[in-house]
Amino acid sequence: MREIIFDTETTGLDPREDRIIEFGGIELVNKFPTGRSFHYYINPQGRAIHPEAQAVHGISATDLVGKPSFDQIVTELEHFIEGATLVAHNANFDIGFLNSEFSRLGRGPIDPGLVIDTLAIARRKHPMGPNSLDALCRRYGIDNSHRTKHGALLDSELLAEVYIELIGGKQAALSLEVQATTVVVTGVTEVTTVIRPRERPLAPRLGSQDVQAHRALVETLGAEAIWLETDPAYRRELAEAPD
């Protein structure tokens, strides 16, 4: 299963008038990061940045001089998200802006069936809140100390870790060793990741007394106990035992 965890920063709050000025996303396959990401700062083509929005993300009009416009990156973006489920925090906001940008270029909207809203998941799982990205990082022990301003790529990386925790996965799944990195000038970053085997296997946590106690319990369940299917030798031993 391929998923894109993404975030946007915008000139304001109204997708009918305001524009996306930053897009950042990272790719997960079967809940593991592939190391592939997509990130652009985007020129809003004359649309002013609201002071309240700039206070949140810290991006100024000067920062966007010389950056590509949305129409210049849209094909690349579509290729990056094609066939994937899109995961965002307060997804209605980000999807609304993406759909507005697509509509301006004559492209169709994103299928809502391919969108997962982590804010909705968090509200169901933690109804007493708070459920902001910062609050969820604190709840799950995810280091967000470097998040002094909102940023699309950084927020996507943090959200990926939060998302894994929200759905009951393991945060460690996102801590793979980076083996090699190739940065592509178009904005897509390719990273090869590997999982190193343990240098020393973990010691068994069950002692002989635990094993014998478990066997005694299984014997009370009868010859068809499902536990016996995992231990063929024990099944034969039980079957051959005299009555």
Segment 93-132, tens digit of pLDDT: 999 999 999 999 999 999 999 999 999 999 999 999 899 9
Residue 40: both structure tokens together: 């652009």
Which one is catalytic: 50, 57, 150, 214?
A: 150
Q: Which CATH architecture is the domain 2-194 placed in?
A: 2-Layer Sandwich (3.30)
Give the pLDDT band of residue 200 (cuts 50, 70, 90). Answer: low
State whether residue 40 is helix, strand or coil: strand
Evaluate if pTM is beyond 0.75: no
pLDDT score, position 163: 96
Is residue 50 classed exposed, middle or buried when 0-12, 13-18 and 19+ CB atoms within 10 A define those classes?
middle
Work out whether strand 188-194 and strand 177-183 pair parallel, antiparallel, or are unpaired: antiparallel
Q: What whole-number distance in Å separates Cα of residue 183 and Cα of residue 181? A: 6
Helical (H) or strand (E) element with 191: strand 188-194
Q: What whole-number distance in Å separates Cα of residue 9 and Cα of residue 60? A: 11
Give the pLDDT band of residue 23 (cuts 50, 70, 90). Answer: very high
Domain ranges, ordered by start, for the chain? 2-194, 208-240
The rounded Cα 125 to chain-centroid distance in angstroms is: 17
pLDDT at 241 over 60: no
Q: What whole-number distance in Å separates Cα of residue 38 and Cα of residue 6? A: 9
pLDDT score, position 192: 44
Is residue 150 among the annotated active site residues?
A: yes
pLDDT, tens digit, for every residue of 66-102?
Answer: 999 999 999 999 999 999 999 999 999 999 999 999 9
Give the pLDDT band of residue 220 (cuts 50, 70, 90). Answer: confident
State whether residue 15 is helix, strand or coil: coil
The set of residues, in sequence order, having a beta carbon less than 8 Å from that of 207 and lying 6+ positions away, is none
